[in-house]
Structure formats: structure tokens, C-alpha cells
Amino acid sequence: MIGQWRVLAMLLLGGAAQAAPVPPPPDGFSGAQYIDGQGCVFTRDGGGWAPRMDGTGQALCGFPPSMDVRRTDPAADRALPLTPPPAPDIETVLMEELSRNLGAGEWNADPRPVDARAEPAPSRRTDPMQTALQDALAAAPAVRDAAGLSGSAELCARLGYRPDPDGTAQGSTLGLCPGMRAEPAIATLTTGVRLPVAPAVQSRPSAAVPAKPATARATPPAASATVSRDRRTAPAETPSPAPVPAKAPDVEMIPASARYVQVGAYADDENAMIVLRALAARGYPTGQGRAAGENGPLRLVMAGPFADRQALIAALNDLRRNGYPRAVAR
């Protein structure tokens, strides 16, 4: 069946090749090649047109016509404009389609009053970039309550805070204890200093021996010397020097927000790892930080965080006694 269609197509093309172009080119057509309405190619042959053949002797067809855009029909005398007409208005087409089946009075106005639509009031809020910090501080209590991080009064007291009636500015910066102030008396660490004991002043009473009553007998010379020596008074009491006042003990201030004990800063990572392992071996949680030193970056080694100030101070004293005398609270 397919073969029969192919034979028929070849016959039709052969017939088309023998015929003249349909429609013929208009008068004044100056091109050397013309494609008719069936898509077949023709070339000038003297005063007429001859079909163009391929290598097998078949006519070349299947091309877009030369005058398909510029003519409406073969007998047209005038050419169509090169620019296509503008597209129809969507609203006009829609109104025409909707108005075809409308009844009388369907386009009448709605008797209900038209709702007045006022412009939205301008926002009085300033630029968010300028109020980002205030918004974050205002939202901090709600976020803390939602996360379950609100501290109790007992916990804040153990951490070294007390209520501050005027603490509005720092209320959201103290973490679990907003609106409180660090207690200075608790946030100190007193190092023990033994005070020197002033020597006691001792005085000896005068030991006066009563003289024997004189007798008629003559007293030997040795006895007279003894009596004379006993009658002498005791030496005068020497005033002791005033005691020197003891030096006041050094008081180390610990920040109320301190949770770590920094034992050192190391430029060598291997030394820092040795200290970290030593702290872990003593049972302390460890932490690290980075800082810029004079000769390059430093690695801060810390023990902590600690749950309360009592544990922090105990760890600070323990580390200072066991090889880290320069440990500080952070």
C-alpha cells in the first residue's frame, strides 16, 4: 500500500513538473527563481518558467511559496503590507464573546453601593536595619521562655546576681537572669595570706629581797655584799617597737559572667593538645578559642563551662595548685 502511494506521488510530481507554476508569478517579478503555491521550484527559461529537477529527475517541491506573504490570491494586483496587522484587543474580544448571549438589562449597574477602598496607612515603623537590635532585645524574653531557658530566683542567687530595680538597659544581656545585677561581694576571690603575729610584751616584776635586821654581831663581808646586791632594783622596762600593719590581702575580681578557666595560650597546636588531654584526664570539660598574638595566632585552652560560681572558683584554685599558676577566669 505504501508503495502505491509513493508511485502516485511521483506521478503527481511528474505532472506538476510538466505544468507551469500555479499561481504564476505576478507581472514585474524579476527573480530568477520562483516557488509556486504548491511549493515547487521553477527557474526562468527564456520567456517562461521551467521546473527545477533534482538528481533523480524529480521536481523539487516542498518549499514555502515566494508570494505566500505578499499576495492574497493569484489574480491580486496589489501587494499586502509587509507588517502584519496588530493583534486584536483581548478586552474587546472578551466583551464581544460575553455580549452575544446577554439579555436585556444584564449590563445594568449593581444597585448596591460600591465599597470605598482607601489606601493603606503608611507604616510608622522605621528602617528594619536601624531597629534590628531593639527588636532582638524585645523578642529575647519570648524566645527564652519558649526555649525553656528562664532561670529561677534561687539559680540566679547562686550565680551571683541580685534584683536590680534600675536594670532596664541590661535586662536582656544577662542570659538566664534578666533584670539583675552582679553581686560584687560574691564576685571576688580572696587569696589566703598569713598575717604576722606581733610579739607579746612581757615585763618582769622587781624582786626586792627584804634586808635582815641588823644584829649586834659583825656581819661577814660576803653577807654584806649579798645584801647590797639584793637591794638593787630591777632594770627599767624596754619599750617594744610598734607592730607593722599587715599588708591587705590581694583581691581578685572575677566577672559575674565567667564560666571558663583559661589555663594558657599556645602558638603550637601540639602543646595545646597536650594541655587539653591533661585537663580531660583531671575530669574537666574542655574548650578552645582563637586569639591574635604578637607573633601569630594563638590557641586558647580552657576548662569549662562550669554550672555555677562555686564550681568555677574550685576549679580555678585546683588548677593553680597543680601546674597552671597563671590560670584566669573568663
pLDDT digits (tens, 9 = 90+) for 63-118: 888 876 555 555 555 555 556 678 889 999 888 888 887 776 666 666 677 778 88
Cα atoms in the 13 Å half-sphere on the side-chain side of 324? 21
Cβ-based neighbours of 301, under 8 Å, separated by 6 or more: 262, 263, 264, 265, 266, 272, 275, 276, 279, 286, 288
* Domain stop point among 156, 182, 208: 182
Phi, psi of 3 (to 5 degrees): -65, -40
Considering the domain architecture, whether residues 3 and 68 belong to the same structural domain is answered as: yes
Q: Which pLDDT tens digit goes with each residue over 136-187?
A: 878 877 776 666 555 567 777 777 777 776 655 444 445 667 667 776 544 4
Distance spanning both ends of the chain, measured CA to CA: 96
Residue 103 lies in a domain: no
3-state secondary structure of 85: coil
**Domain for residue 187, yes or no?**
no
Same structural domain, 68 and 139: no
Alpha helices in the chain (DSSP H): 2-18, 90-98, 132-147, 153-159, 221-230, 269-281, 309-321
Q: Within this chain, do residues 139 and 72 fall inside the same structural domain, yes or no?
A: no
Domain carrying residue 60: 1-23+32-76
Assess if residue 250 is contained within a domain.
no
- Write out the three cell numbers for 172: 536582656
Residue 200 lies in a domain: no
- Give per-residue pLDDT as tens, 37-46: 888 999 988 8
Domains in the chain, number: 3
**Is 306 domain-assigned?**
yes
| pLDDT tens readout for residues 248-279 | 556 678 888 889 999 999 999 899 999 999 99
Residue 1 has pLDDT above 60, yes or no: no
Model confidence, pTM: 0.28
Q: For residue 96, with 0-12 CB atoms within 10 Å meaning exposed, 13-18 middle and 19 or more buried, which class applies?
A: exposed
Question: Where does a domain end: 151, 182, 213?
Answer: 182
Asked if residue 155 is part of any domain, the answer here is yes
Q: Using CB atoms within 10 A of its CB, is residue 154 exposed (0-12), middle (13-18) or buried (19+)?
A: exposed
H-run or E-run covering 188:
strand 188-190
CATH number, domain containing residue 263: 3.30.70
Q: How many CB atoms lie within 10 A of CB 282?
A: 13
> Quick check: is 138 in a domain?
yes
